[in-house]
Structure 1
Amino acid sequence: MTMLWLLATEEGGFGLNSDILETNLINLVIVIGVLIYFGKKFLGSTLTSRRVRIEEAIQDAEARKKKASSALAEQQQNLAQAKAKAEQILAEAQENAAKAREALLAQAKVDVERLQASAAQDLSSQQERVLRELRQQVTEMAIARAKEQLPGRLNQDIQHRLIDQSIAMLGG
């Protein structure tokens, strides 16, 4: 207040001070004093609340980082388990394929042996049938020829001897 009185009395009342350096310095001191006096509580509470919010945001970010890290570790573990399971399934599939291949080869071998045995049996039965038919034809031809030649070669005396031999063979 004494400053205002000095400004007013120096020139004979209130007026404009034309000294720029002096007036700016005084104005700055007044503004800074007012800001410190009135803004101390406001600025302090604002900065304190802002600091609290920043600290909470940092803590929240750190918590989210920890949570994300644990989720990442869990997902990496799940991925490793999935890869191991996939490798196990692949190994089992290869093993099953090898077993199936061997079973198919064994079954094919059995089928081939059965077909060979069946073919051999069919061949044997065909040979027997052909031989039987040949014997029958030869027998029929021999009987037919004998019937043709028999009447001219058979006389009364030969017929009696054949009958006697037949009776003797029968046990009479």
Structure 2
Amino acid sequence: MKNVTHSFVFLAHWPFAGSFGLNTDILATNLINLTVVVGVLIFFGKGVCASCLLKDLLDNRKQRILSTIRNSEELRRGTLEQLEKARIRLQKVELEADEYRMNGYSEIEREKANLINATSISLEQLEKSKNETLYFEKQRAMNQVRQRVFQQAVQGALGTLNSCLNTELHFRTIRANIGILGAIEWKR
């Protein structure tokens, strides 16, 4: 055995050209660290098998993942329900908006028709009033013209009578008119 150990020591000190060799330094090769870790595992894990620990860890991880998936599904369902409610509300609001819009348009049309009718009636009344005013103004103007023509005719007749009438003709006309009036009174 001494020969075997000796040969390893000899190999460790023999310089190779490509830096290949066997490291016999125990501290440099982490052999102590590996021995400590394996010893601790064996000491503390006597009643527990490594596959059982791994299985428990995987089962816990699986349960957490399944729980997260279930929570996500519940949130998804809730979100879908809220989305459906929002769609229903949106349809309802759109229907109400269409109804308001149609009512507004019909109200506008009704107001427009009322305004047109009121304006038409006002225009008819103004036209009637204008025609009546024109008729009365025409009648007044005609009356004024008649009065002037009558006044001028009377003045002309008086002028003619005054120029042609002398005292004797005047007395004869008066007597003739008195005679006519007397004859009329006797007949009664």
TM-score normalised to structure 2 length: 0.63
Letter in 2 for 1:122: T
Counterparts of 1:105 and 1:169 in 2: how far apart (Å)? 69
Offset of residue 90 of structure 1: 1.4
Please state whether the residue corresponding to 1:129 is helix, strand or coil: helix
Partner of residue 155, structure 1 = 170
Q: What is the match of residue 152 of structure 2?
A: 141
- Cα deviation for residue 50 of structure 1 reads 3.4
Q: Which moved more, 1:93-102 or 1:122-131?
A: 93-102
Structure 2 gaps of 5+ residues are 1-23, 25-34
Q: CA deviation at 1:155?
A: 1.6
Normalised by the length of structure 1, the TM-score is 0.68
What secondary structure does 1:103 align onto?
helix
**Structure-1 separation of matches of 2:39 and 2:54:** 18
Q: Distance in 1 between matches of 2:182 and 2:79?
A: 119
Match of 2:91 among 77, 80, 84: 80
- Deviation string for 1:109-138 (max 9, x for gaps)? 212221221111111111110111111111
- Write the deviation string for residues 82-122 of structure 1: whole angstroms up to 9, x where unpaired: 11111111111221122122222222221222122111111
Report the secondary structure of 2:104's partner residue: helix
- Between the aligned residues of both structures, percent identity stands at 18
Do the aligned partners of residues 55 and 107 (structure 1) sit closer, same or farther apart at CA in structure 2, a change above 3 Å counting? same
RMSD (CA atoms): 3.6
Q: Structure 1 83/159 Cα, relative in aligned 2: closer, same or farther at 3 Å?
A: same
Change (3 A) 1:164 1:130: farther
* Partner Cα separation in structure 1 for residue 87 and residue 175 of structure 2: 115
> Which structure is larger by alpha-carbon Rg, 1 or 2?
2
Alignment of 1:96 with 2:111, yes or no, is no
1:109 matched to 2:120? The reply is: yes
Instruction: Report how far residue 77 of structure 1 moved.
Output: 0.7
User: Aligned to 1:155, what secondary structure does the other structure show?
Assistant: helix
**2: distance between equivalents of 1:164 and 1:46?**
159
Name which structure has the greater RCO, CA cutoff 8 Å, separation 6+. Answer: 2
1:1-172 counterparts in 2 under 5 A?
37=46, 46-151=57-162, 152-153=164-165, 154-165=169-180
